[in-house]
Structure formats: C-alpha cells, structure tokens
Amino acid sequence: MRAALYFLCLLLNAASPVMAGGQSLAELQQVNVLLQAEYDLAKSGKPYLVINLQDHQLEFKTSGLPLEQWSIDSYRRWGHPSAMRPASLKIKSALAEPKREVQVVSATEPSGETAEKPFNALELTDMPTSYRLYLDNGTTVTVHPVSVSWFDSLRSSLAVPAWYLSRPFISSWNFLRGSPYNELALAMPAQDARRLYWAFSEGTPCLIRLPAAEATASAPATAGTNR
Amino acid sequence: MNIWQMILNNTLNRVRLWRWARPHWPLRRVLICLTGVLVLVELCGSYLAYRGGVSAAVAAVPQKARTAADLQSANERLLKKIAGQKPAGEYLVIDTARNRVTLRKGDVILRDMTASCGSGNVLEDPTSGRRWVFDTPRGQHRILSKVKNPLWIKPDWAFLEAGEPIPSKSAERAEPGAMGDYALGLGQGYFIHGTLYKRMLGRNVSHGCVRLGDEDLAHLYRNLPIGTRVFIF
C-alpha cells in the first residue's frame, strides 16, 4: 500500500510542470511569446488590444502605454488554447450597427440654407453592447453585456448550457469546411462593451493572454524563446 | 435479460417519448439512431475543438530549449524594453468616445479636460464625387506646430455644409476668431483648438479637430513643446 502511494506521488511529481517563481514553464513561455509580440507592437507605435483573461481585464495600449482599461465580468472559451495567438481585428459585426449620418450637398447648386440643423452625431451611446469581433486568425470574440435584471440572469443561465451544447456542432461543421472554430465569449459591463466597440477598430492588433492553467494545457513538448 | 438490460429498460421507460414510441419499433430505432448521431457529433466536435497541436505562435519561435530561469530573465528584459517605449516627458491622451483630453506624465494624470471630437458624420458632393468623413484621426501623433490667434482658412466642406458657394479667392476663406486664441497642429489639417460653441464641449460635434475650452487650451499652449506625443483613440 505504502509503495503504491510512493509511486502515485512520484507520478504526480513527474506530471507537474516545471515551476519558477510560482510560474510554470508553459506559462512563462506563453508570457514570453506575448511579450515579444507586444514589444514589436509597442515599437511600431500602433494601438493594440490586450485581452488578459488571467486578470479578467482588457487593456487598450499604444507604445506599451495603457490608454484605457476595461473589466471582463466573465468569459467562456471554445477551441484549443494554442489558437489564441496574436491576431488583428478583421471585421466587427452587430445586429444594431451604428449608422453614420450622410449629408448630400451640391457645390454647383448651393442651397443657401442657414437654419440650424438638428444635432446628430455618432456618439458612444450609439454603440452596441452585443456584437462579434472576427479576428484574422479565425477566432471569434463575442461580447455581451453583464446581466442586470432577473430576466437577463435567467436568460444567460439558460444560454450557458445551450452555448456548450451548440459549439461541438459548429466545430464539426467548420471542420468539414476546412477551418477550425475558436470562440471567446466575453461578458462586460454595458458601458465598457460600448467603449471597446468604439476604440477597437478594424486592423487593430490583438493579443490574448490565457490563465495559467489553460496556458499549461497548450504547452508544446519543448520550451522555446527568442529573446 | 441481464441486470444491465433491466436498468436500461427501467431508465428508458421513464422517458415519455420512449414510452410513446413503445408500440412502434421502427420509431424507437430512429430515436436511438438520432440520439447516437447527436452524441457522436458532440463528441467529435469537442475532440476537434480541443485536439492538440503545437501552438502556431510558439511554433513560429525558433525552437531552442531553455530553462524556466532563462525564460524568466528573458521576460524581464522584454518588460523593460516595452517600458522603454513609453514617452519620457509629458504627453496627451485624447479619448474620442468620452470627449476627454488628459495631460499625463508617466502614469500620473496632470490635467483632465473636456473636449469635442469628430462627429463621425459624412458629407458627400455627388457633382464633384468628393466625400468627407468627420472623424478625429486615431493613433499616435505629435504636436507639429503652435499658433497664436489662428486664422481659420475655411475648406470647401465648410461652404458646402453651410449651403454657400465655394469662393474662388483664398482671402474670402479666412475666418478669424473661430479657432479660439491658440491652435496646436497635429498635421494633415487637424488641430487642437478653441471653440465658439463651449456649451457643446463633451459632445462629438467637430469636423475632426479637437476643440477645447479657453483655459485648458492656454495651459497646453504654454506648457507643451513642439514634438509632444499625442495619443488619440
């Protein structure tokens, strides 16, 4: 019996990832890849988004400088962790997309109108709170607001099992089409969701940092670093 | 009938659909097949989504085995390098969504100001095929010029929007006082300047420039040198 326990302890010890200062090798490696990607982006001076699932936080940065931070209330993830690699926003999609007001005028026929027009502009309140962000690495980020009423809470609690039951079907369908399916569903406060939609424009790079446990799951057999 | 068959039968008999389909054996078979297919798709989908594979991000990295200590020191070096990209002196951050301009040094906010940024509206002239989008340009900029008592040289869109004919003489385009006492140029015709419509500060009403109140504008004009970095998002 005692021998069996020793053997079990040995097995557990062998299976545990290499730790350094509380961080596993896989986590350090993930951080290394992300930091390298962030350094390249910081050098370019372009704005970029860091989705930090470990700290439940979104950071909009330029030159390594956090311009704005938003909180993630909760998240769900579907797909292999390795798919969450650096990417750029390809397209944004929402059921109620904000519309720009278009004024058509003619230079050859000036109207001579001087009357004050009603104030109409594209503002933060016009931004949607539920939308999808398609990244160029095939990952879909869905954003929805945090439930505030009991009806919303009930609906979202029913939506969770439905979400997990429907994803395998979407994965299978996408496999047949030849493209893997990865999704990240974020629940955010409504105002933060609007501000993310406003700031995160097409072509903006995005980095996703996974929690330590998930980073370990995506670890390759050998560790590698380039800096 | 063995014990497992009895348990399965008892369990299935509790399901109303199964009981209803009892007299129809073909229907039961269809139900069994359908359930099997559903379970199979669920299992396959889950496997396909989570099956292994070397991370593409990591695979792109030259594979040179390192220890955890090596990785930790490499990460610390990278963090220092990223921190080195931050502006050393004072800089401006313009939040076009909230219409706020903040003057910062390091992580400290020195001054928080209310502004008016671009309206996001579009003006089209079908006769000439020209189109203007009144957005404040996002990204990293620098203060390229500082002007006292700036004169607004009205562009074509200002006349079109007002329903006025576009003048042929450039002198007819000048409008003094419209830009306030000072203007800080960001390039490509965009400025941080004053406004006559102070009650609209805090709303997205401009044609792309950043409008500020008189005191805030004067502060920035006096304190920020040419070359100061401006981050707009």
Please, which pLDDT band fits residue A108 given cuts at 50, 70 and 90? low
- Average pLDDT, whole number, for chain B? 87
Rounded Cα–Cα distance for residues A78 and A174 (Å): 13
pLDDT attached to residue A216:
60
Q: Which of A35-44, A138-147, B63-72 has the lowest mean pLDDT?
A: B63-72
On average, the pLDDT of chain A sits at 81
The DSSP code for A105 is -
* Residue B176 touches chain A, beta carbons under 8 Å: no
**Chain B residues with beta carbon closer than 8 angstroms to that of A81:** 55
Compute the distance between CA of residue A185 and CA of residue A43 in angstroms, rounded to an integer.
30
Q: For residue A207, is pLDDT > 80?
A: yes
Residue scoring higher pLDDT (A225 or A23): A23
Q: Is the pLDDT reported for residue A164 higher than 70?
A: yes
Q: Is A70 within a domain?
A: yes
A110 within some domain: no
Q: Phi first, then psi: what are they for B161, rounded to 5°?
A: -65, -35
Residue A31, domain extent = 23-96+124-217
Chain A residues within 8 A of B122 when measuring between CB atoms: 100-103
Q: What kind and span of H or E run contains A143?
A: strand A139-145
Residue A109 belongs to some domain of the structure:
no
Residue A117: pLDDT band (50, 70, 90) is low
CA distance A3 to chain B (A): 32
Residue A54 to residue A154: CA distance in whole angstroms: 27
Residue A115 lies in a domain: no
Is residue A81 assigned to a domain? yes
CA B212 to chain centre: 22
The bridge status of strand A19-20 relative to strand A139-145 is unpaired
- Please name which of B185, B202, B220 lies closest in space to residue B92, comparing C-alpha atoms: B220
pLDDT beyond 50 at B230:
yes
Confidence of residue B56 (pLDDT cuts 50, 70, 90): very low
CATH classification code of B90-232: 2.40.440.10
- Give me B27's structure tokens: 């229907």
| Chain A residues close to B54, C-beta within 8 Å | 82, 220
CA distance B150 to B148: 6
CATH of the domain at A128: 2.40.440.10
Q: With respect to residue A12, please indicate whether it lies within any of the assigned structural domains.
A: no
Token reading at A186: 């974020």
**Is A60 in Cβ contact with B133 (below 8 Å)?**
no
B86 or B65, which is more confident?
A: B86
Asked if the Cβ–Cβ distance from B71 to A225 is below 8 Å, we say yes
As a whole number of angstroms, the distance between CA A90 and CA A138 comes to: 9
What is the Cα–Cα distance from A15 to A217, expressed in whole angstroms?
Answer: 12
A175 to chain B: nearest residue by CA?
B48
DSSP for B128-150, please give it: TTEEEE--PPPEEEE--EEEES-
B52 has a chain A CB within 8 A of its CB:
yes
Chain B CB contacts of A124 under 8 Å are 97-98
Question: What's the confidence (pLDDT) of residue B48?
Answer: 84
pLDDT band, very low/low/confident/very high, at A113 (cuts 50, 70, 90)? low
- A47 in contact with chain B, both atoms CB, cutoff 8 A: yes
Q: Where are the domains of chain B?
A: 3-49, 90-232
Residue B192, both tokens: 């941080």
Class of residue B3 by CB neighbours under 10 A (exposed 0-12, middle 13-18, buried 19+): exposed
The answer to whether A64 contacts chain B (CB < 8 Å) is yes
Q: What's the total number of domains in chain A?
A: 1
| DSSP H stretches of helix in A95-211 | 150-177, 190-199
User: Model confidence over B87-129: pLDDT tens digits?
Assistant: 989 999 999 999 999 999 988 999 999 999 999 999 998 888 8
For residues B83 and A112, is the Cβ–Cβ distance under 8 A? no
